[in-house]
């Protein structure tokens, strides 16, 4: 039991989710289906602590040469020779709603290649930093038992009827030196064998679908159409939801969907032409994106060159088309150009260099002080450096705090000396560069996603109040970032989303849209450590999900999707059912097999939602 609890504690650091999905999904306990990203790994299973432990790791492979049932087994090979080395594991984490108050039994088969290798299977129920129920089987002598060396294991747990139990975790591991195989796992709930998880949210009734259809309008295309009357008639419902908003958040459920990018381009053009929007803000490092802003305002270079300032996911043909359009529009409308800005903070080098260059020209007495406070952290390759000791990261944050205090004390005199608007803007950028450096250090110290959201909101607010007062802005980011619920229990990130901060600052003049797809493919990296971009298959919207609900709404056969108005009160007699939490696709930088780990109360988070039935991968620039 001690080994089992250690396994659960370590895995929880890597895999625990604050609010797991509640949706129908296959279990893949027989390892027959390969992962979307890696053909030699099983679908739905994730690395345990092997990516974090010291010393050699393990190889996880789908093996077709040594199989008990079907065509594949899972092979784990470890090269650990040090005594006491932690096991190497794969884990399957499932939402616990299907199991609370029920008895679970897991059976399966395992074998090993050497007496030094031990295979371990565990079944656990997790709460918040608590393993509420657990069972394990150590089958280290499997090669001497059963047919062809396979040995059967059986585990049983009683899951507490407690809503704080958020996950059921099945793990398979090898400890020691050698190879272990696993095959034909089966999960039983109160004696009933499960091959997939049941959907918790019921399908909508006819009356509910009719209600949602009455709040929806067909979307005819994603890409920009020919100029002329009626070209944007299908965007009229978006205009109604936008209303008099000063800031419009355009989300996306993946960072690599071509049709999302095309539609955002189309909406930006529409809002610029018809509603007077004149700022486009993207989820990219704030100072670096100024290169793109200079370009779209007529500056030197090429679009491809300046776009390298953004993250790789934005370096696509679709974003290139938007940048090219913006430059052409600004050339034709110099009296009210559209600015291209960023608001992210994952960069410490650019802000340090910018500030040092400014004080070298404007206040030489500060040069040595700025250099001393920024040199150590600036020398690190990446702004996020979790491999560095926590004490060192805390020191960099303290240096950032000192930098902001020192520069803040000089801001007023610098502004007093400014003779032109351009001089004042340079002062503001120098002062904000100190803040950006501190923000990067703060995020590096905490490694907290909510911290990033709050700081991105602060940066966007700074840009709109300081550089672009009176402007109307379109904000491009992930659904989770633009969502504005701010509910500590029901919202993403414990209610600390960027959109929630913006909603508190701008009230109903902030509006947010979610962009979703039922099925198709998207571009992503293979993992957070393997940055090769590829076309990943999107798991089709499961029963009970937001996407499945929207796809069930009747619409014109000529449409590619729909736009739905979610401005419905929680106590609305007809629309309260929309406030039921449902799984929502969530794919960021890296690909996911399932990707419905989040639950969303959609009217709480978004004013509108756009569904595109089938989508394709974005097209990365060479």
Determine whether 227 is exposed, middle or buried from the number of CB atoms within 10 Å of its CB (0-12, 13-18, 19+).
Answer: exposed
* Model confidence pLDDT, tens digit, residues 137-187: 986 544 445 557 889 999 999 999 999 999 999 999 888 888 899 999 999
Residue 382 is predicted with a pLDDT of 92
Residue 471: is its pLDDT beyond 70? yes
Distances (CA, A) of 464 to 140, 355, 428, 429: 63, 21, 13, 13
User: Three-state SS for 590?
Assistant: strand
Determine whether 489 is exposed, middle or buried from the number of CB atoms within 10 Å of its CB (0-12, 13-18, 19+).
Answer: exposed
Spatial CB neighbours of 514, under 8 Å, sequence gap ≥ 6 = 251, 253, 479, 482, 483, 546, 584, 600, 602, 605, 606, 608, 609, 610
Nearest to 600 by CA among 454, 525, 497: 497
Residue 230 is predicted with a pLDDT of 76
Residue 314 is predicted with a pLDDT of 94
Q: From CA 84, how far away is CA 67, in angstroms rounded?
A: 30
Phi, psi of 489, deg, nearest 5: -105, -45
Rounded to the nearest 5 degrees, what angle is found at the Cα of 482, between the Cα atoms of 428 and 545? 165
Q: Distance of alpha carbon 545 from its chain centroid, rounded?
A: 17
DSSP labels, 521-553: EEEEESSSS---EEEEEEPPPPTTSHHHHHHTS
In the chain, what is the straight-line distance between the N-terminal and C-terminal CA atoms, in Å? 52
* Model confidence pLDDT, tens digit, residues 517-563: 999 999 999 987 888 899 999 999 999 999 999 999 999 999 999 99
What are the counts of helices (DSSP H) followed by strands (DSSP E) for the chain?
16, 21
For tokens 């619409």, name the residue.
Answer: 555
Residue 266: is its pLDDT beyond 50? yes
Residue 430: is its pLDDT beyond 80? yes
Q: How many CB atoms lie within 10 A of CB 131?
A: 21
Residue 147 is predicted with a pLDDT of 55
Calculate the dihedral angle through the C-alpha atoms of 285, 288, 294, 299, rounding to the nearest 10 degrees: -140
- Please write down the HEC assignment for all residues of 124-161: EEEECCEEEEEEEEECCCHHHCCHHHCEEEEEEEECCC
Residue 229: is its pLDDT beyond 80? no
Looking at every residue in the chain, the average pLDDT score rounds to: 90
Positive/negative CA dihedral, 463, 468, 471, 476:
negative
Residue 63 is predicted with a pLDDT of 95
Rounded to the nearest 5 degrees, what angle is found at the Cα of 32, between the Cα atoms of 28 and 38? 90
Residue 52: is its pLDDT beyond 50? no
For tokens 């994952």, name the residue.
Answer: 346
Element (H or E) spanning 603, and its range? Answer: helix 602-605
Residue 80 is predicted with a pLDDT of 65
Beta bridge partners of 561: 219, 612
* Model confidence pLDDT, tens digit, residues 276-323: 999 999 999 999 999 999 999 999 999 999 999 999 999 999 999 999
Spatial CB neighbours of 475, under 8 Å, sequence gap ≥ 6 = 247, 248, 249, 250, 281, 282, 343, 460, 482
* Model confidence pLDDT, tens digit, residues 497-528: 999 999 999 999 999 999 999 999 999 999 87
**Percent residues over pLDDT 70 in the chain:** 91
Residue 79 is predicted with a pLDDT of 76
pLDDT band with cut points at 50, 70 and 90 for residue 1? very low
Q: From CA 588, how far away is CA 375, in angstroms rounded?
A: 32
**Percent residues over pLDDT 90 in the chain:** 81
pLDDT band with cut points at 50, 70 and 90 for residue 225? confident
Residue 24 is predicted with a pLDDT of 76
Residue 14: is its pLDDT beyond 50? no
* CB-based contact 114:179 (threshold 8 Å): yes
Which tokens is 166 given?
A: 């958020």
Q: Distance of alpha carbon 213 from its chain centroid, rounded?
A: 29
Q: How many CB atoms lie within 10 A of CB 619?
A: 16
Which tokens is 176 given?
A: 């020691």
For tokens 């060479």, name the residue.
Answer: 622
DSSP labels, 345-414: ---SHHHHHHHHHHHHHH-GGGHHHHHHHHHHHHTSSSS--TTS-HHHHHHHHHHHHHHHHHHHHHHHHH
Residue 565 is given by DSSP the state E
Which tokens is 59 given?
A: 């190889």
pTM value is 0.91
Average pLDDT of the segment spanning 425-446? 97
Average pLDDT of the segment spanning 345-359? 97
192-194 and 46-47 beta bridge pairing: unpaired
* Model confidence pLDDT, tens digit, residues 17-38: 333 333 478 999 999 999 999 9
Residue 291 is predicted with a pLDDT of 97
* Model confidence pLDDT, tens digit, residues 190-220: 999 999 998 878 889 999 999 999 999 999 9
DSSP labels, 234-254: GGHHHHHHHTT-SEEEE--S-
Phi, psi of 203, deg, nearest 5: -65, 150
* Model confidence pLDDT, tens digit, residues 82-103: 555 666 789 999 999 999 999 9
Phi, psi of 461, deg, nearest 5: -60, -40
* Model confidence pLDDT, tens digit, residues 140-154: 544 445 557 889 999
For tokens 């929680």, name the residue.
Answer: 570
Residue 9 is predicted with a pLDDT of 32
């Amino acid at each position: 039991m001690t080994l089992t609890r250690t396994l659960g504690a370590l895995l929880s650091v890597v895999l625990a989710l604050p609010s797991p999905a509640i949706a129908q999904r296959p279990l893949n306990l027989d390892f027959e289906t390969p992962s979307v990203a890696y053909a030699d790994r099983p679908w739905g299973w994730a690395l345990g602590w092997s990516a974090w432990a010291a010393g050699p790791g393990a190889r996880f492979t789908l093996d077709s040469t040594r199989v008990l049932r079907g065509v594949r087994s899972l092979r784990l090979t470890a090269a650990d020779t040090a005594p006491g080395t932690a096991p190497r594991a794969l884990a399957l984490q499932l939402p616990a709603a299907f199991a609370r108050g029920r008895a679970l039994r897991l059976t399966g088969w395992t074998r090993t290649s050497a007496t030094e290798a031990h295979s371990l299977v565990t079944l656990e129920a997790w709460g918040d930093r608590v393993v509420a129920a657990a069972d394990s089987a150590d089958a280290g002598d499997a090669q001497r038992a059963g047919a062809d060396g396979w040995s059967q294991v059986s585990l049983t747990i009683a899951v507490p009827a407690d809503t704080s139990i958020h996950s059921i975790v099945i793990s398979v591991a090898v400890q020691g030196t050698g190879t272990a195989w696993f095959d034909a796992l089966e999960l039983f709930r109160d004696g009933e064998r499960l091959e997939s998880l049941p959907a918790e949210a019921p399908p909508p009734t006819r009356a509910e679908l009719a209600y949602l259809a009455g709040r929806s309008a067909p979307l005819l295309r994603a890409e920009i159409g020919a100029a002329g009357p009626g070209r944007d008639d299908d965007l009229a419902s978006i205009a109604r939801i936008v209303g008099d908003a000063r800031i419009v958040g355009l989300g996306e459920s993946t960072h690599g969907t071509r049709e999302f990018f095309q539609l955002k381009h189309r909406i930006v053009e529409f809002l610029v032409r018809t509603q007077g929007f004149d700022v486009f803000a993207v989820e990219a490092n704030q100072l670096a994106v100024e290169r793109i802003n200079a370009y779209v305002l007529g500056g030197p270079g090429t679009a491809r060159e300046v776009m390298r300032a953004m993250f790789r996911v934005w370096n696509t043909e679709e974003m290139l088309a938007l940048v090219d359009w913006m430059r052409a529009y600004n050339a034709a409308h110099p009296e009210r150009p559209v600015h291209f800005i960023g608001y992210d903070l994952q960069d410490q080098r650019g802000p340090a260099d910018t500030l040092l260059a400014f004080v070298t020209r404007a206040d030489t007495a500060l040069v040595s002080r700025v250099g001393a406070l920024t040199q150590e952290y600036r020398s690190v390759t990446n702004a996020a450096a979790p491999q560095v000791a926590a004490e060192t990261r805390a020191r960099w944050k303290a240096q950032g705090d000192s930098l902001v205090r020192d520069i803040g004390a000089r801001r007023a005199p610098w502004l007093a000396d400014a003779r032109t608007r351009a001089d004042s803007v340079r002062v503001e950028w120098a002062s904000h560069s100190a803040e950006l450096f501190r923000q990067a250090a703060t995020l590096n110290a905490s490694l907290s996603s909510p911290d990033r959201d709050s700081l991105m909101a602060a940066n966007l607010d700074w840009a709109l109040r300081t550089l672009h007062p009176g402007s109307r802005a379109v904000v491009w980011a992930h659904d989770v970032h633009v969502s504005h619920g701010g509910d500590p229990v029901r919202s993403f990130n414990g209610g600390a989303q960027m959109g929630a901060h913006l909603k508190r600052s701008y009230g109903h003049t902030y509006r947010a849209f979610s962009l979703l797809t039922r099925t198709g493919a998207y571009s992503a990296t293979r993992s957070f450590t393997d940055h090769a971009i590829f076309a990943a298959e999107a798991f089709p919207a499961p029963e009970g999900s937001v996407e499945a609900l929207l796809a069930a709404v009747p619409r014109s056969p000529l449409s590619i999707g729909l736009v739905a108005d979610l401005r419905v009160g929680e106590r609305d007699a007809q629309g309260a059912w929309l406030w039921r939490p449902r799984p929502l696709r969530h794919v960021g930088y890296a690909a996911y097999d399932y990707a419905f780990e989040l639950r969303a109360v959609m009217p709480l988070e978004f004013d509108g939602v756009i569904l595109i039935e089938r989508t394709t991968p974005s097209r990365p620039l060479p």
